[in-house]
Amino acid sequence: MSYEVEHSIPKNEPVAQHSRRPDLSTFFSNLELVNTSNTQNSNAIPMPADMRAVFITLSDAFRSMRQEGGGSLLDALIESLEADAERPPKEVRGVSDAFLDELDRVPRKSLKEADSCPICGNPFLDDKYPLVVRLPCHRDHIFDLECIAPWLKLHATCPLDRKDLLKKEEPSPPPEDDEEDGEYDEMFA
């Protein structure tokens, strides 16, 4: 889905991209080389050099954001990506495009002036058409989709609390049924 469609922007209206967000086309091209979830060959294994390139290109993009500002979260993400590049995993363990599409969108009217993306540091309301998503781990974990999507494509964890976003919540055990008189009934044993 394109930026214009996602934001309901008429086709003739120009879209201004914020300067703090780098071009991630190389990252997504590299990701296509290693993402085996859409292939029909169940034995397909990405090459380690290709895996390394994916982590390095995202690390470089985040590093360019850091040069213009950014905080400790961005530093932690860069450090994690560089560690992954040193020892690339055998497969991508990120979320699917469907997962990204289903993330809760935060309406512009519910954003406050002080709210900003924890990754790029840009205030959400600086964008005329902000595309802000809420992660399911915590109601206050909101991000620019453009910033969080690349991270989530590689890691299925929230960058703030590292909770696994694909792990299903364990249902609480059902309450134990107390017997009517509290005694064991041998008739059905």
Helix (H, G, I), strand (E, B) or coil at 133: strand
Average pLDDT score over residue span 77-89: 89
pLDDT on residue 172: 58
pLDDT on residue 182: 55
Q: How far apart are CA 152 and CA 7, in angstroms?
A: 21
Q: Give the rounded distance of the alpha carbon of 178 from its chain centre.
A: 44
Q: How far apart are CA 165 and CA 63, in angstroms?
A: 25
Count Cα neighbours of 157 within 13 Å in the Cβ-side half-sphere.
11
pLDDT on residue 52: 84
| Cα distances (angstroms) measured from residue 105 to each of 132, 178, 185, 186 | 6, 44, 54, 56
Is the pLDDT confidence value at 41 over 50?
no
Per-residue pLDDT tens digits for 18-27: 455 677 777 7
Q: Which residue has the tokens 């993400």?
A: 77
Q: Out of 31-35, 44-48, 80-84, 137-141, which region has the weakest mean confidence (pLDDT)?
A: 44-48
Average pLDDT score over residue span 12-39: 64
Q: pTM for this structure?
A: 0.70
Per-residue pLDDT tens digits for 91-121: 778 888 899 999 999 999 999 999 999 988 8
Question: Considering the chain, what is the average pLDDT of its residues?
Answer: 78
What is the dihedral sign for C-alpha 32, 36, 38, 44? positive
Average pLDDT score over residue span 146-162: 91
pLDDT on residue 51: 79
pLDDT on residue 135: 95
Is the pLDDT confidence value at 43 over 60?
no
